[in-house]
Amino acid sequence: MEKPVSAIPAHPLAADLERVLAGTNGLWEELRGGRIFITGGTGFFGMWLLESLARANRGLNLGVEAVVLTRDAGAFARKAPHLARDAMMRWHEGDVRTFAFPAGDFSHVIHAATQSSARDLAPLEVMDTIVTGTRRVLELARQRGVQKMLLTSSGAVYGRLPTGMRVSEEYAGGPEVAISREAYGEGKRLAEMLGAIYAEQYGIEVKIARGFAFVGPWLPLEAHFAVGNFIRDGLAGGAIRVAGDGTAQRSYLYAADLAVWLWTILFRGASKRPYNVGSDAAISIRELADAVAGGFTPAPEVVVAQTYDPAIPVEWYVPDTGRATRELGLHATVDLPEAIRRTIAWHRQIGRG
What values do phi and psi take at 144, rounded to 5?
Answer: -115, 20
Q: Would you state the pLDDT for residue 118?
A: 55
Percent pLDDT > 70 in the chain is 95
Tens digits of residue pLDDT in 297-310:
999 999 999 999 99
User: Hey, what CATH topology would domain 11-218+253-278+318-333 get?
Assistant: Rossmann fold (3.40.50)
Q: pLDDT tens, 109-133?
A: 999 987 555 556 799 999 999 999 9
Q: What is the pLDDT of residue 119?
A: 58
Confidence of residue 2 (pLDDT cuts 50, 70, 90): very low
Q: How many CA atoms lie within 13 A of 332 on its CB side?
A: 24
Q: How many CA atoms lie within 13 A of 44 on its CB side?
A: 28
DSSP letters for 155-172: GGGG-SPPTT-EE-TT--
Per-residue pLDDT tens digits for 166-216: 999 999 999 998 899 999 999 999 999 999 999 999 999 999 999 999 999
Degrees to nearest 5, angle at CA 231 with 162 and 263: 65
* pLDDT for res 115: 53
Range 275-295 average pLDDT: 98
User: With pLDDT > 90 as the criterion, what percentage of the chain qualifies?
Assistant: 91
How far apart (Å, rounded) are the C-alpha atoms in residues 27 and 234?
Answer: 38
What is the amino acid identity at position 352? R
| Dist CA 342 CA 13 (whole Å) | 10
**Tens digit of pLDDT for each residue in 221-245?**
998 899 999 999 999 999 999 999 9
Sequence-distant (≥ 6) Cβ neighbours of residue 149 within 8 angstroms? 108, 109, 110, 111, 137, 138, 141, 195, 204, 205, 206, 207
Per residue in 138-148, pLDDT tens?
Answer: 999 999 999 99
- The per-residue pLDDT for 198 is 98
Residue 3: predicted pLDDT: 41
What are 103-106's contacts with CB under 8 Å, separation 24+?
104/35, 104/144, 105/35, 105/144, 105/145, 105/146, 106/34, 106/35, 106/36, 106/37, 106/67, 106/140, 106/141, 106/144, 106/145, 106/146
Q: How far apart are CA 328 and CA 209, in angstroms?
A: 12
Going from N- to C-terminal start, the domains of the chain cover 11-218+253-278+318-333
